[in-house]
Structure 1
Amino acid sequence: MVTTQFQCWLRCSCLLLGLLPLGAPAQGPRPPAFDVVPLGVRGGLDEGNLSAYLVAPAGSTAYVCLDAGSLRTGLGKAVADKVFAVDADAVLKTYIKAYLISHAHLDHVAGLLLNAPDDAPKTIYGLPSCLAILQNDYFNWRAWPNFGPAGAPPALGKYHLQALAPGPEIALPETALRLRTFPLSHARPYESAAFLLRSHEDYLLYLGDTGADELEQSHQLQALWQAVGPLVRAGQLRAIFIETSYANEQPEKLLFGHLTPARLMQELAALGQVAGPGALRAVPVVITHRKPPAANEAAIARQLVAANSLGLRLIYPVQGQRLQF
């Protein structure tokens, strides 16, 4: 009773002093819904630091790996930083329950391929076009041993390839996560994907490589924004992971299906229009796939700050360092 009376007195005092707006809920920060461990954050050139993000519900060790450009180097850094209580081999074999691959470019699958001989059996999820490349162009005994379920004999069958269909939400076995998949355009007509993960009533959105709708002559991002806008408005979307590969100086004919700071802000403004004024400011935006050299990465960061009229919280992930949302 004393605690309740004190809380009421404190709230009334704050209202009188103008520290809280009328109708504002008297509550602290929400606990995190997702644990994220970046195993690779760059978009090329640095072979040991390519796109790969472990995601699990907060407090769980049942991760999915969103893309798998680099695994061992990132796992080693995360273990050294005491993110995990087990060694890198145990994380690879037992903590990672599945791979979700946005597209089959080497900077998104090299770590998966190179670690396949020592990995444990598990499922690789992707759009049919992505899985066809994995099976036919990599798992074929020419580029790499056939760890897939079909194709050139003998098919070792270590990995089950599970095709994703845009639209319906599915459960990811061995995890407490559910998934919706959205197609993206990555240098039309090449296809990439976005993954919307759900834990209870909270969501995390990860986009693979993508170009802006205007340049790609598509409506893929607009369709994605229409789908996630209500989640932003309701406060259920905990984070957006989205690429910015090049600084604004990169000629648009040489973007190869990627975003610049100007194009990213253009697309996020479109999402803001769907979600409602100000709602997007509550959602951290994690900038992925910045391409070396360091001058390009630094220019991207400067240009994003200069263009951030939306007041977004921008995060630059560091390989091996845990994030919580």
Structure 2
Amino acid sequence: MQNTELVCVGTAPSETESGEANASGLQVIVLGPTGGPREDRVTGLLVRSTSTEWSSNSVVAVDAGTLLCGIIDTLEPCDNYQELSTHGPFAGLHLPHNNASANATHFFRHIIGAVLITHPHLDHLSAFAINTPVLEAGSGAKALAALPSVVAAIKTHVFNDVIWPNLSDEDGGAGLVTYQRLVEGGNPMMGRGDEKGYTRVCEGLLAMCIGVSHGHCKQRFVAEGEIQRRMSSVTYGGYPHTFDEQAGTGQAMHLASSRSQNCKLIGTRVVSPEISPGLRVPGKEGWATVESSAFFIRDPATKKEVIIFGDVEPDSISFDPRNSRVWEAAAPKVVASQLRAIFIECSYNDDVEDASLYGHLCPRHLIDELIEFAERVTELKHPELSLVKKSKRASAPEVPAEPVLSPRSKKAALVGEKGDHRRGSARIRRRHTRARLVLEDTPEDAERKNPSISHAPEDVGIDLALAESSDPLTTLEWPEPPLAGLLVYIIHIKENMTDGPPAGERILQELQAQGEAAGLGCEFHIPVRGESVFV
């Protein structure tokens, strides 16, 4: 991977680039592709429908660790007194001013309609706070759209007249920012058909937000009176989770959407006094999962979509696993050829142990998540086939009395469940460095291949063998590559800041090798700052 920047150059776009832009439905501009520690290129993306042609309020920013400075840097090569940008990511954009800073400010004020924040960590939010003073009352308040818990954290800990002036239009603020609280999982009152649940976030774009988990941390209560004052306008949807430290139960709590009064804020999560029991985490009393988000962004004109993840951890090691809900919602969109690209973090390479991921992904876990996604897609594309869900990992298995081992197993290990899956003839194998899942032929399959074989007893099904294997990579056999044509852009890579090769080079190599072995069919890319992606 070349460590270069894609910027505006002094030539017109090629015919291929122009045709790609005209034919596409969505454009994504990557302002900040990394996860730090450099503050000038942390997470920040712009998304627009190409049909809007840079009209007023036609762009959304997704996260804002980098925002105004990223726009300035991308526009600077075009700083030549042009009235119209003719090339680069902002080709076709009207430039009313003579320098990049002024044009970027115009863009922020008038072209960006909303800023979507996945979670309130500084590397996803700080630029928006720093940039807000350039907003003008005459241009209207800039919408900050996020889950209610994220808005509550930003109100309480950022725009609070202590860390930063209260520039919002709530609690007597200056009115330059307005909060748009999104319903977790989609607003059921909005949209129809495959757009049900989506909310209009700017001219030409719809969005839906699903909560995901970003690690866990110790939490403490804040003064209840202060929280009631700051959260008086919060409207809750979905079911965010947290752990009640005061009760000391370590239980996950479900927040009722109609009970916003008398709520207490615990860090970035909200707890209602009326709750129902959820996941219990032994030995983790007083800990809470940190909530992040995945945004589905849709161009209703072409029905094309992208998913942009905030920071996210693998379900396999999460206190509060929720990624499967994203894959469940996304699978039908792949089948319908609507979902074209996913922007997702992969902060570290596979040298990092699970205990040191701190709520992030590495290649082995991202591939595992994509395998689950692929299984859901295959189930929809081939309903006649019987696909077996993934077995538990070797670290936390169920151990039946009589394990069934694959021939290449080195030692007795762990066995999943048995089931009757005789509807189809698909044969899918998964082999992993620490686990191997083998689906054997059903009796009907065996008889069809060899008529001399008699019927097996009626209760014979497929054995799932989970055992230690010498295979270096997970390999899968699908009826067809389930994620073929899907673009996976890797963001939030933690830069190593050394003389060696960029951290992304190894991450990309590991993803490409494991993705190819798994037969997923998707393409992995690592964008650079200022890169423009058309889908």
TM-score (norm 1): 0.86
1:63 maps to a residue whose letter is V
- Counterpart for residue 511 of structure 2: 304
Preserved contact between residue 229 and residue 271 of structure 1 (Cα < 8 Å): yes
Alignment of 1:1-325 (within 5 A): 31-60=23-52, 61=54, 62-80=58-76, 82-84=88-90, 85=93, 86=95, 87-120=103-136, 121-151=141-171, 154-167=172-185, 168=187, 169-188=197-216, 189-200=289-300, 201-276=303-378, 277-293=480-496, 295-309=502-516, 310-325=520-535
Please, which runs of 5 or more residues in structure 1 have no aligned partner? 1-27
The DSSP-based 3-state class of the residue aligned with 1:302 is helix
**Residues in 2 aligned to 1:174 and 1:184: alpha-carbon distance in whole angstroms:** 23
Shift of 1:70: 0.6
Preserved contact between residue 482 and residue 521 of structure 2 (Cα < 8 Å): no
**Residue 275 to residue 30, structure 1, CA distance change in 2 (3 Å):** farther
Q: Deviations over 1:110-162 (max 9, x none)?
A: 110110101342110111111111111011111111112334xx511211111
Shift of 1:297: 2.5
Shift of 1:173: 4.9
Shift of 1:29: 12
The DSSP-based 3-state class of the residue aligned with 2:39 is coil
**Residues in 2 aligned to 1:280 and 1:311: alpha-carbon distance in whole angstroms:** 5
The DSSP-based 3-state class of the residue aligned with 1:203 is strand
Shift of 1:59: 4.0
Q: Deviations over 1:176-217 (max 9, x none)?
A: 111111010001311001111111222111111100001114
Preserved contact between residue 78 and residue 321 of structure 1 (Cα < 8 Å): no
Superposed structure 1 runs of 4+ greater than 6 Å apart: none
Give the % identical residues.
30
**Residues in 2 aligned to 1:71 and 1:236: alpha-carbon distance in whole angstroms:** 28
Preserved contact between residue 233 and residue 279 of structure 1 (Cα < 8 Å): no
**Residue 41 to residue 29, structure 1, CA distance change in 2 (3 Å):** closer
Shift of 1:302: 2.1
The DSSP-based 3-state class of the residue aligned with 1:198 is strand
2:294 maps to a residue whose letter is A
**Residues in 2 aligned to 1:315 and 1:175: alpha-carbon distance in whole angstroms:** 28
Shift of 1:31: 2.5
**Residue 210 to residue 173, structure 1, CA distance change in 2 (3 Å):** closer
2:123 maps to a residue whose letter is D
RMSD over equivalenced CA pairs, Å: 1.9
Number of residue equivalences: 296
2:523 maps to a residue whose letter is R
Q: Which has the higher contact order (CA 8 A, sep 6+)?
A: 1
Shift of 1:30: 9.9
Shift of 1:220: 1.0
Preserved contact between residue 34 and residue 57 of structure 1 (Cα < 8 Å): yes
2:106 maps to a residue whose letter is A
Greater shift, 38-47 or 117-126, is seen at 117-126
Greater shift, 45-54 or 118-127, is seen at 118-127
**Residues in 1 aligned to 2:47 and 2:503: alpha-carbon distance in whole angstroms:** 27
1:54 maps to a residue whose letter is L
**Residues in 1 aligned to 2:46 and 2:68: alpha-carbon distance in whole angstroms:** 13
The DSSP-based 3-state class of the residue aligned with 1:279 is coil
1:45 maps to a residue whose letter is P
**Residue 173 to residue 199, structure 1, CA distance change in 2 (3 Å):** same
1:144 maps to a residue whose letter is W
Larger Rg: 2
**Residue 173 to residue 194, structure 1, CA distance change in 2 (3 Å):** closer
TM-score (norm 2): 0.53
Please, which runs of 5 or more residues in structure 2 have no aligned partner? 1-19, 78-87, 96-102, 188-196, 217-288, 379-479
- Counterpart for residue 22 of structure 1: none
Preserved contact between residue 489 and residue 525 of structure 2 (Cα < 8 Å): yes
